[in-house]
Amino acid sequence: MKIAVLGSGKVGGTLGAKWARAGHEIKFGVRDPEEKRRRADPELASFNILYLTVAEAIRDADVILFAVPTSEVAGIIATHGSQLDYKILIDATNDFRADQMSKVKELVAAAPSAKVFRAFNSLGWENFEQPLFDGVPADLFYCGPKKGDASVTMQALIEEIGLRPIQIGDLDQVAIVDSIVRLWFSLAVDLGLGRHLAFKTLGI
């Protein structure tokens, strides 16, 4: 599968590297592709990873992960909105200063035929890198289309990271997913419990 990862920081970089190891073709969309190529992890050189401009990365992508700062999302939508349609779009951004933390509404408006998911925003990147706790995978809560090929693909992408997918519902449950990251932040940062902290649903 061709996956465009917009942003190569801790979240995007960790997810992209894991998906590359799982056999996907990863294209990072970044501001300065040449600089990123020079600084790329040599251990990933044998995997199918490219560093390109945003336009180049999303051109032929099946899936597009938004892992850029929230301040950059509007510009990407304005410039490349038509290229987002008919693809699987994953919003992993968090705008803690806004009433609505996600950019889901903007993505749906720009690409009405895309399959939009809210995922990978409710845990720290440390849990993507090390998803197991005594051999038990942490849960990843997400929402988006519940039926069809896109739903199957989304579940597989989460499992390839090593997490257990827990779909809360369709996009009408974005606020619930976003409440989880607020809880995570309160526990991990405000209470000082550490960023390698995750959740597990019991009884299902």
3-state secondary structure at position 61? coil
Task: Say what the pLDDT of residue 178 is.
Answer: 97
What is d(CA 158, CA 1) in angstroms, rounded to the nearest whole number?
A: 14
Task: Say what the pLDDT of residue 175 is.
Answer: 96
Task: Say what the pLDDT of residue 204 is.
Answer: 61
Task: Say what the pLDDT of residue 35 is.
Answer: 84
Exposure b/e, 67-80, CB count within 10 A at least 16 = b: bbebeebeebbeeb
Residue 164, beta-bridge partner list:
139
Task: Say what the pLDDT of residue 65 is.
Answer: 98
Taken in order 52, 53, 58, 64, the sign of the CA dihedral is positive
User: What are the φ/ψ torsions at residue 11 (nearest 5 degrees)?
Assistant: -70, -60
The CATH code that applies to domain 2-190 is 3.40.50.720
CA distances, 107 to each of 33, 37, 58, 77, 82 (Å): 24, 29, 14, 7, 11
What is d(CA 27, CA 202) in angstroms, rounded to the nearest whole number?
A: 36
Task: Say what the pLDDT of residue 140 is.
Answer: 98
Predicted confidence (pLDDT) per residue in 137-165, tens digit: 999 999 999 999 999 999 999 999 999 99
| Full-model pTM | 0.95
Q: What stretches in the chain show pLDDT beneath 70?
A: 204
Per the CB < 8 A criterion, the answer to whether 188 and 152 are in contact is no
